Homo-oligomer: A and B are copies of this chain.
């Protein structure tokens, strides 16, 4: 009996022809239907989404990706591209129809070239972020984007989701690192702009469309990325601050005083710091007294300006004290203490998790509005949902705060998250939308936030997204069901 693929319009395609042809293109190492081999990639790393796939395709070259996509287009087989499978929104997990192939880019992991003096690297989509960091470090330069999942996240996935991280303040998100791009489009054609031109005004910039498109417009196969000088020395500062408003003023002061040396500016409240200290047995608060808010500030310098950094850090703090922008501050005396300061920041998420089940929101508003947003949102949520505890911390310099709401003591985790938790999220997203902010600052939309995006997104922007998607992927084969409900009929069932 031959297997068949049912399309939504009722027609049926024979898929044994497709499978045979795909296997011929990719060879045994590049194509499998073995359930055991496929299983690890059919559930996202947080275990929130599980899907099924027709097959797992692992092409080794751009030409193989192109040939495969051409074949999929002819047979109308949907494609779910996947990098490290460490996204936050289920954007790389297929649906449960089993109609799509899972297209892993992990075998395409070559660094094609790295030129330290020209400060750029050409690498394939499957290169893991940590490998890129290592390769850059070996040549005395650095790739200026990092995040928690660096051991699994791939260059292709980082581009498809326009990933952020802890260095956005100075270096920008992934979009700012992409100098050139190669991608396979829905018809199998290859868009290539790997040779970076600093100036090129032949129409609107097509690579910008692919960055952040979550695999819905094309499959990134390679990129040219920028590199920056290696960090020679850093100064890590901890400041106690009277309010978030003061923290914002302190940030502006740091930008004025330190300019490009300012690489990180993270904020947390006294209460959050308390949670962290309780959670980490050996941790001590950096400052003697309590302060309503705390800021962790990192300044870095390359070799050329290393000598000047300690003085810069001192001047910065003295100026801030004189202007009344902080209550107390200290500079890490050595690299060990600097690591201890960062360990406090990195322990916020586990410390909050230890307090109980929570719903988490990766949201942003305009940088200067973040203090007033937090001041409104925290009591509003806590008042609306008695017993909950709202926590805001994170990248004040990017207007991006991780906003966690912890369940009332004793709540059943699963029931609370599916019930009140969901309603709380809806409230938070409505609030941030009213403030002109984003319901997804860093993590993307994927399938996790697709419905909320459809509900709360600007209708004009949604119509533009749909029109561009329809234009570039008329059969809707690229990562269907992700990012935005594309057919308007889905909005009005």
Using a CB–CB cutoff of 8 Å, the interface residues on chain A facing chain B are 115, 117-118, 161-162, 164, 168, 173, 175, 185, 189-193, 195-206, 208-214, 217, 229, 252, 256-257, 259-260, 302, 304-305, 364-368, 395, 397-400, 436-445, 453, 457-458, 460-461, 463-465, 467-468, 470-472, 483-484
A208 to B178, CA, bound (A): 14
Contact residue among B118, B304, B453 (Cβ-Cβ distance under 8 Å from A259):
B304
- Nearest residue in B to A369 (C-beta to C-beta)? B195
Besides A191-B461, A192-B460, 20 other A-B contacts (C-beta < 8 A): A164-B201, A191-B460, A193-B461, A198-B397, A200-B364, A200-B438, A200-B440, A201-B440, A201-B441, A201-B443, A204-B209, A204-B211, A204-B213, A204-B217, A206-B461, A256-B304, A259-B305, A464-B472, A467-B472, A471-B471
User: Which B residues touch A458, using CB under 8 A?
Assistant: 191-192
Counting from the closest, the 5 A-B pairs by CB-CB distance are A471-B471, A208-B208, A195-B436, A199-B441, A200-B438
Which interface residue of A185, A203, A443 has the most chain B CB atoms within 10 A?
A203
Q: Is the CB of B483 within 8 A of A199?
A: no
Contact residue among B259, B398, B484 (Cβ-Cβ distance under 8 Å from A199):
B398
Q: Is the CB of A199 within 8 A of B168?
A: yes
- Nearest residue in B to A308 (C-beta to C-beta)? B308
User: Which B residues touch A400, using CB under 8 A?
Assistant: 198-199
Q: Is the CB of B203 within 8 A of A460?
A: no
Q: Is the CB of A205 within 8 A of B195?
A: no
Which interface residue of A198, A217, A364 has the most chain B CB atoms within 10 A?
A198
- Nearest residue in B to A175 (C-beta to C-beta)? B205
Q: Is the CB of A202 within 8 A of B457?
A: yes
Q: Is the CB of A437 within 8 A of B197?
A: yes
- Nearest residue in B to A461 (C-beta to C-beta)? B206
A54 to B217, CA, bound (A): 39
User: Which B residues touch A217, using CB under 8 A?
Assistant: 204
User: Which B residues touch A173, using CB under 8 A?
Assistant: 199
Contact residue among B198, B257, B468 (Cβ-Cβ distance under 8 Å from A471):
B468
Q: Is the CB of A118 within 8 A of B368?
A: yes
Give min CB distance, A214 to chain B, whole Å.
7
- Nearest residue in B to A465 (C-beta to C-beta)? B203
Which interface residue of A302, A365, A441, A471 has the most chain B CB atoms within 10 A?
A471
Q: A185-B460, A189-B463, A206-B464 are in contact. Are A364 and B212 (CB under 8 A)?
A: no
27 contacts between A and B (CB under 8 A): A168-B199, A173-B199, A189-B460, A193-B461, A195-B366, A195-B436, A198-B367, A199-B395, A200-B364, A200-B440, A201-B212, A201-B438, A201-B440, A202-B439, A203-B484, A204-B208, A204-B209, A204-B211, A204-B212, A204-B217, A204-B465, A204-B468, A205-B212, A208-B209, A209-B464, A259-B260, A468-B471
Give min CB distance, A91 to chain B, whole Å.
10
A138 to B354, CA, bound (A): 52
User: Which B residues touch A470, using CB under 8 A?
Assistant: 471
Contact residue among B190, B199, B259, B464 (Cβ-Cβ distance under 8 Å from A442):
B199
- Nearest residue in B to A256 (C-beta to C-beta)? B304
- Nearest residue in B to A484 (C-beta to C-beta)? B203
Q: Is the CB of B364 within 8 A of A203?
A: no
A424 to B189, CA, bound (A): 32
